[in-house]
């Protein structure tokens, strides 16, 4: 983050936002993994605990803190792709609907993230009010993440196809190669869809299993075994590590390429040779370059 800020330019604001989200997500996940499970929860697998019930649920506060750490970490992780999608939508709107009124992408991003944060807060309040146990809190979070994952898969697929069309069209008009940008869009699309499809399937299976068993028996103490929970945790968090590393690599590669580009030979076109699109806002152009990979 410090290195990107030292390069200067308006586009570093967006790049720094990506780095910040990756940092916060990694920090929250590290805190959750480094704290021994026995310090927070009475059992390794999920068990029914009610808020403020010190007699029957002596470890309810630790369970609540653990679930909040996981929820906020997931929110930050998903926010990385939400930020990408918001800027992609804004750029595409500029090209496909040039006369349409455009909302500031960062405002849209903060609005969407605030709505997701509000759902987490409401879930926590309902747990603290005793309307359901920690198992219900876990179930709500699983279904929420499954829904957001499905939406992300759809949006990434739609926007990436349009984005590739725009890049190839601009490349043909300006007589420059956009192959590297198209490849990066493809990498984000394939890896993003793979991650969110896996996450959606995992959360749907897990949430449905909890819901069915809870409906039949009033508890999920027996359905979530040690082995089942291990598989869930490993698949969930190893996929997160993979996507975080990939996003960090893509961002680092993009920024390094932009700041260390060598002059072209005489007679060839350079990016600086082209004039900006009329009536385009300069700050928006810088932000567009940052999220266009």
d(CA 205, CA 147): 13
80, part of any domain: yes
Predicted model pTM: 0.79
Q: What is the 3-state secondary structure (H, E, C) of the chain?
A: CHHHHHCCCCCHHHHHHHHHHHHHHHHHHHHHHHCCHHHHCCCCCCCCCCCCCCCCCCCHHHHHHHHHHHHHHHHHHHHHHHHHHHHHHHHHHHHHCCCCCCCCHHHHHHHHHHHHHHHHHHHHHHHHCCCCCHHHHHHHHHHHHHHHHHHHHHHHHHHHHHHHHHHHHHHHHHCCCCHHHHHHHHHHHHHHHHHHHHHHHHHHHHHHHHHHHHHHHCCCCCCCCHHHHHHHHHHHHHHHHHHHHHHHHHHHHHHHHHHCCCCCCCCCCCHHHCCCCCCCCHHHHHHHHHHCC
Domain of 85 in residue numbering reads as: 9-257
**Burial category of 125 from C-beta neighbours within 10 Å (exposed 0-12, middle 13-18, buried 19 and up):** exposed
Give the tens place of pLDDT for each residue, 213-249. 877 776 666 677 788 888 888 999 999 998 888 877 8
53 vs 30 pLDDT, higher one = 30
- Answer whether residue 277 shows pLDDT above 80: no
The answer to whether the CB of 44 falls within 8 A of the CB of 62 is no
**CB 21: neighbour CB atoms within 10 A?**
22
267, part of any domain: no
Half-sphere exposure of 123 (CA within 13 A, CB side): 23
**Burial category of 117 from C-beta neighbours within 10 Å (exposed 0-12, middle 13-18, buried 19 and up):** middle
- Answer whether residue 266 shows pLDDT above 90: no
Confidence at residue 76, expressed as pLDDT on a 0 to 100 scale = 93
263, part of any domain: no
- What is the CA 40 to chain-centroid distance, rounded? 26
Give the tens place of pLDDT for each residue, 119-170. 999 999 999 998 888 888 888 999 999 999 999 999 888 888 888 888 788 7
Number of domains in the chain: 1
106, part of any domain: yes
Lowest mean pLDDT among 28-32, 36-40, 218-222: 218-222
Confidence at residue 219, expressed as pLDDT on a 0 to 100 scale = 66
- 192's tokens: 């993003």
d(CA 135, CA 139): 6
272, part of any domain: no
- What is the CA 217 to chain-centroid distance, rounded? 35
Tell me the average pLDDT of the chain: 79
265, part of any domain: no
164, part of any domain: yes
- 172's tokens: 């043909």
130, part of any domain: yes
The answer to whether the CB of 171 falls within 8 A of the CB of 177 is yes
Give the tens place of pLDDT for each residue, 56-95. 777 888 889 999 999 999 999 999 889 888 888 888 888 7
């Amino acid at each position: 983050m410090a290195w990107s800020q030292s390069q200067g330019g308006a586009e570093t604001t967006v790049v720094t936002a990506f780095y910040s989200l990756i940092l916060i997500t990694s920090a929250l996940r590290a805190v959750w993994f480094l704290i021994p499970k026995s310090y927070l929860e009475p059992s390794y697998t999920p068990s029914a605990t009610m808020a403020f019930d010190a007699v029957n649920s002596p470890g309810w506060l630790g369970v609540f803190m653990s679930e909040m750490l996981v929820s906020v970490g997931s929110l930050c992780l998903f926010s990385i792709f939400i930020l990408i999608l918001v800027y992609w939508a804004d750029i595409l709107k500029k090209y496909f609907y040039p006369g349409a009124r455009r909302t500031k992408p960062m405002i849209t991003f903060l609005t969407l993230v605030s709505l997701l944060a509000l759902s987490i807060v409401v879930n926590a309040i309902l747990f603290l009010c005793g309307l359901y146990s920690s198992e219900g809190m876990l179930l709500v979070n699983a279904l929420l993440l499954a829904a957001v994952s499905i939406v992300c898969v759809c949006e990434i697929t739609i926007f990436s196809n349009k984005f590739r069309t725009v890049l190839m069209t601009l490349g043909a008009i300006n007589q420059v190669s956009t192959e590297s940008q198209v490849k990066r869009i493809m990498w984000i699309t394939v890896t993003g869809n793979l991650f969110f499809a896996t996450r959606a399937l995992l959360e749907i299976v897990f949430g449905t299993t909890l819901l069915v068993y809870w409906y039949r028996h009033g508890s999920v103490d027996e359905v979530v075994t040690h082995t089942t929970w291990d598989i869930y945790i490993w698949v969930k968090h190893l996929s997160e590590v993979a996507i975080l590393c990939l996003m960090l690599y893509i961002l680092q590669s993009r920024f390094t390429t932009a700041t260390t580009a060598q002059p072209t030979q005489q007679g060839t076109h350079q990016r600086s040779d082209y004039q900006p699109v009329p009536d385009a806002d300069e700050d928006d152009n810088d932000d567009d370059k940052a999220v266009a990979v």
